[in-house]
Structures are given as C-alpha cells and as structure tokens.
Structure 1
C-alpha cells in the first residue's frame, strides 16, 4: 500500500466540524450502550467539590438548565438512573441540547424521547459519556454552585467525575477490545513510534470509542478506525507526510505561527492544515497550532488527534466515523468522512484497499464486517 496525502483534512474546517446533532435528533437513531446501571436507582448525582446535579428551580419546563448546586435533598436533585441509559428527574430527562456534539453544548431538561441526546454511559475516572457526541458531562469551567453543565471532550478531570445513585462512582471502564497481540498482528511492520500503550492512553480522552453498541459493534468500530489508520500510514509505518512542501496555511485569524509549511500531515490519520491543528489542539488540551510537531513526537497525542477526527469530522458526508459505525451507516461512511474523493468512483482502488484492511481486521477480531462497506 502506498502512503498518500488524503483530502479529509482539506475539506474540513473548524467551523464545519460536528454537524450531526440535528439529524440524530430528528431520526432518533438508537444506540445500544453499556448503560450506567442495570436497574433503576434514585438519589443524588454528585460531582466536583461535592456539588449535586440539579434541575434549576425544580422546573419541568423544556430546556430548563441543569446545573451543579449545593446539595439540599430536594426533588430537583433526585435522579433516577434507568437501565436504558437515561438520567431522569421530575419525570424528565437529562438532555444534550439539540443532540449537539460540539464542546460547550449545554445540557438541559427535556421530555424523555429515547434519542441519542439522552443516553449516558460510564467511563473511566468517573465520567458520564454521551455516546452520540463522544463527550463527557462537564462542570463548566470548574464552576461553583449555580453553573449550568455542558458536554466537553473527556479529560478525566475532577470536573467530569460523577457519583451516581446505586452505582457509586461511574469509574471502572473495561479493557480495549483489541488486545496488544491482535494489534501486533494487524501492524507487523509498524514504526516503533506507534505504540499500543499510546493508543490505550489516548482512549482515556475518548471513552465512547469502541465501547458503544455491544461487543460486535465495538469490535467493528475498532477495526474500522484501525483499517483507515492502516491505509493512511502504510501500515503504521509513516509518522509524517512524505511530501512536506505543501502550503497548508489557510487564512485564519490565528494564522500559522509555526510557519507556513509546518502543517503537513502527521499521525495515524495524517492531520493537516492549520485549522485542524488548532481545532484538534483545543479539543485535546494541547497547543498544536504553535507546536504541530507534538503530533509526531508524542504517541498518545498522535492517537488523540486521530480519535478527535473520528469523533468530529464528517468530510462531505453527514455523519462522523464514530456515528457511522455505532449508528448502522457502515464502514463505507467512514471512508466518506475521512477521504470522500475516493467515493462514487473517484478512486475505487484506494477505497477498496480500505475495505480490504477492514475485512482483514474484523476477521482478526472474530466479527462480521457488516454491510455498507463501500461508498
């Protein structure tokens, strides 16, 4: 397989990332998850500084803010953890506004409607993950009593750690569905930079990855991600783009402080362009705009940038790669999200190479590849 410069980062602007929310809300895509609890339990949900998750003013109005507040034992703080992954108070559900997927999307109260905006699942370090967005319930800015909560890229910080009734802390999580031996089998000639431990470390920031929808879907998502990575890097051989002469400095207010020619492709999905380095850095808490070489010198950061795109980028498609694999769109939709110029006959050979990788990796993981493999 030849490493090539693909266009998935060319077509995606920071302002165009994460557009699926409204679509998911309208269609009511079902997501099977490892839910917060197996049976309904009711009580307080506590977070940073011992504050309670609270329905402001005990209102049942649609879009009423959900905040952190001094624990007071009132019904506005009595949350029922349902087996379908919803968190309910006063007969209403904890809801990501508009099924949004962007950092800072507010969390409020809404009629329970069985959509992905209302599903929450546990992850490591006590986080509560909304699998549609891949982001965590977040005490905004480590705010004090009265601060409305939001979703934000999972960081494992104390402001994203919650204790739920009936289950204690949500911390726990499971091991990655791809073992190190399977990883080695998939990438027998990989560059030593791309460590398995670096990938596993990066998963802490994206705990919804390969943990959503049951064992088959989880393994299919892992295989799909790694198949695209295999194609982009020639089997995890290449860390940096071979041709580094391209001008990937778009006209943005923040410019290109690392240099006009500094934003070539790096890492497992070959992130390029200044606006992608800026957006990815914002999401994972690293200054990649000023220090793009972090993607080629720190394995965990490199894997995080790839996972960032997996959860946010749609290319010219309508779903992110994560949503494609957990919502039933199939592997072909991940190709469209990552490099849509291969679709619709644009480059059938390159597209088929990705499919071949995916089928090989699902075989290693012992699951069917499912349908809708091409684009």
Structure 2
C-alpha cells in the first residue's frame, strides 16, 4: 500500500472516530403505557397513553381527555417513536394589533389570535369550532398586544381563588340551613381542583353560579339536608349489586347539596373520595365538607342522564342548559317539566348577577 493511500485511510479513520465521539446516539423512544379509556377511573400517579404521548394523572379522574383543559393529566413525553409537534407560541405584531375579528362557528387552530366584539384580543388554547371566547376555555383571557410584546396568558385560577366570597354565598342563600357552611364548601374544593379553577375569570364564575344554582334548586335554597319524602327511602337499595345495602335498605335516601341517593352512588362517590359512604351514608348529612364533596363528585365526574359532566358543559361552552340535562335529563328537558327548568335558569341568572358576570348562551334544555 502506498504511503499516500495509507495516510488517506488513517485520516478517514480519525474523522470517523471524531464523529462517533461528537454525535450522540439516537434516543430510544419510550414505550407507550396502556391506552387511555374514557370509562376507566385513574388516581394520582396512574399512567395512560394518548395521541402518541404518555400521561400521568395528578389526581382522581374519569372521562377527562389527556391534554384537555382540565389540567388533571401531566404530559410525560412522546412514546412509541413519534416526534412531538411543538405548540406554536403566538406573538403580537409590533405597533397596533391587526388580528382578524372572531367569527362564531368558524374553526380555529391552537395559537390563533382573534379580536372579539368587546375589542379585546384572545388566543386559542386548543383547536375549537368557534366557541365564544368569553364563555369557553378554548381561549385564554385577553392580553395586551402591540409594541412588539409577546402575549402572556393569564394564569389559571386555583381552588384557593374560589370566585364566590362568603358574603356573596350568604346573599345567594339567605335562608340556608346552618349545616351548609361556606367553610365546608371551600374545604371540599381540594377534591376537584378543576372545578371553578379552569379557564377565564368569566368561565370560573359561570361554573360556580351554575353549580350553586342547581344545588339551590335541589335543596330549596340550601334548606333541606335530606330528602323530604320518607316513603321513598326503601326504594334506593339496588339489591342486584353484589355489595348490597350494608347500612340498611332504607339508608340510601337523598342527602346533601345534590341529594345523593342509591347504594351504588354512595359506593361510587365514597370510592372516588376515599370515604366509606356505603357503610356510613349518614356522613353526607352530618359532615358539611363530605356533603359538598359528594355534590362536587357528581358535578365533575358523572354524565347522569346527559351526554357530559356538568363541569365539562360549563368549561367547554355548551351552556347551563346541559348541566340541567346531566342532572335530571328528560324528566325536565325536552318539554319534560319546563317550570322546573325555568326555576333553575332563574337561580343561575340571579347568581351570575351577584358574581358580576354574564350568563352566556344555551341556558335551557
């Protein structure tokens, strides 16, 4: 072998070794966890895969899509070899804003910026079919644009920022039973942080008003702690359930703000909250925080006779009417009992006024 050829070969080897040192090895993709299921119950620390990502539940959840607005799922990164697509960060133009006007029903993608009828600018947090910015969590709160600044979304509120003060609560329920304490309600909020902690200030107030309006209707203005028709009490024991009715056949009557009833609902709520309500249903009428938690359990996790949870109805722009459907379905909706529907609407309109916000659309069902 000639000296020239030998030098060339050695040079190539040196370059190859250098590249091997400089270039990192290809990262191996994480394996995907079991696919997320809308019907499955997840508790804090449980993992599931969805849309090419692994997700970890922060707290108890059911039927809340990973990556959605609830904030319950923490993104653990891509799995199965897919490459993440970064969410575009909207930036404001220098000088005066020149974004297009919002159009109802028009599809917007994540990062779109629009000018709403109130003259303020909103940025889409998720892809959506044109929901109204001020009644939907598809949009962040308005930000100031112009001058070359980058919009900074308003931070999402936490349960510590419950949008109803004790004075407002007392104004809503002037004749309430002393059992239904404001402190009991605020103590229960930690069980479901997404409740009144999701979306804009308007959405948070609307959800609080919607929940309290339905609660007011169910309890005669927070007057009744238990169901008044005692003749119904023995009917709420579903003996087909394997666990039966250990507290007694007549022990599962309506109690609390949303009048929790039936042995299977006491068991489901108790399992979700970590409280043995199947064996101790009386806790719902003796412990104010437990009573409020059962109401929040239903509101945040149960579709009832509707197609979505009341929480999702309010934060995703479907309107107050869908919360009625999720609570009483055809018994009131679709002409079932218009007077009862109107009673709930009246309470909701009164409560949003107390909270200094608007009722939004789709009030009836």
TM bracket, shorter-chain basis: 0.5 to 0.7
5+ residue gaps, structure 2, are 1-26, 60-65, 75-155
Q: 1:351 aligns with which of 336, 341, 349?
A: 341
1:203 aligns with 2:218: no
1:267-346 aligned at under 5 Å gives the runs 267-340=256-329, 341-346=331-336
Task: Report the counterpart of residue 212 of structure 1 in structure 2.
Answer: 198
The superposition leaves residues 198-242 of structure 1 with CA deviations (integer Å, 9 ceiling, x where unpaired) of 000000111100011110001000000000000000000000111
Contact persistence 2:159–2:190 (CA under 8 A): no
- Give the drift of 1:311: 1.0
* CA 193–357 in structure 1, closer or farther in 2 if over 3 Å, else same: same
Q: Comparing 264-273 with 240-249, which one deviates more in the overlay? A: 240-249
Contact persistence 2:48–2:56 (CA under 8 A): no
* CA 273–173 in structure 1, closer or farther in 2 if over 3 Å, else same: closer
* CA 282–132 in structure 1, closer or farther in 2 if over 3 Å, else same: farther
The superposition leaves residues 299-348 of structure 1 with CA deviations (integer Å, 9 ceiling, x where unpaired) of 00000000000012212221100000011111000000001110011111
Contact persistence 2:48–2:55 (CA under 8 A): no
Task: Report the counterpart of residue 224 of structure 2 in structure 1.
Answer: 238
Structure with greater proportional strand content: 1
Contact persistence 2:159–2:196 (CA under 8 A): no
Once residues 121 and 171 of structure 1 are traced to their aligned partners in structure 2, the CA distance between those partners, rounded to angstroms, is: 17
Task: Report the counterpart of residue 103 of structure 1 in structure 2.
Answer: 42
Task: Report the counterpart of residue 164 of structure 2 in structure 1.
Answer: 178
Once residues 282 and 226 of structure 1 are traced to their aligned partners in structure 2, the CA distance between those partners, rounded to angstroms, is: 24
TM-score by length of 2: 0.62
Count of aligned positions: 248
- Give the drift of 1:132: 5.5
After the TM superposition, which parts of structure 1 deviate over 6 Å for at least 4 consecutive aligned residues?
117-122
1:4-153 aligned at under 5 Å gives the runs 58-60=28-30, 64-65=32-33, 97-98=36-37, 102-104=41-43, 106-108=47-49, 110-111=51-52, 135=72
Once residues 176 and 100 of structure 1 are traced to their aligned partners in structure 2, the CA distance between those partners, rounded to angstroms, is: 29
Matched residue SS, 1:108: strand
* CA 236–267 in structure 1, closer or farther in 2 if over 3 Å, else same: same
Could you say what the CA RMSD is over the residues aligned between the two structures, in angstroms?
3.1
- Give the drift of 1:107: 2.4
Question: Bigger radius of gyration, 1 or 2?
Answer: 2
- Give the drift of 1:65: 2.8
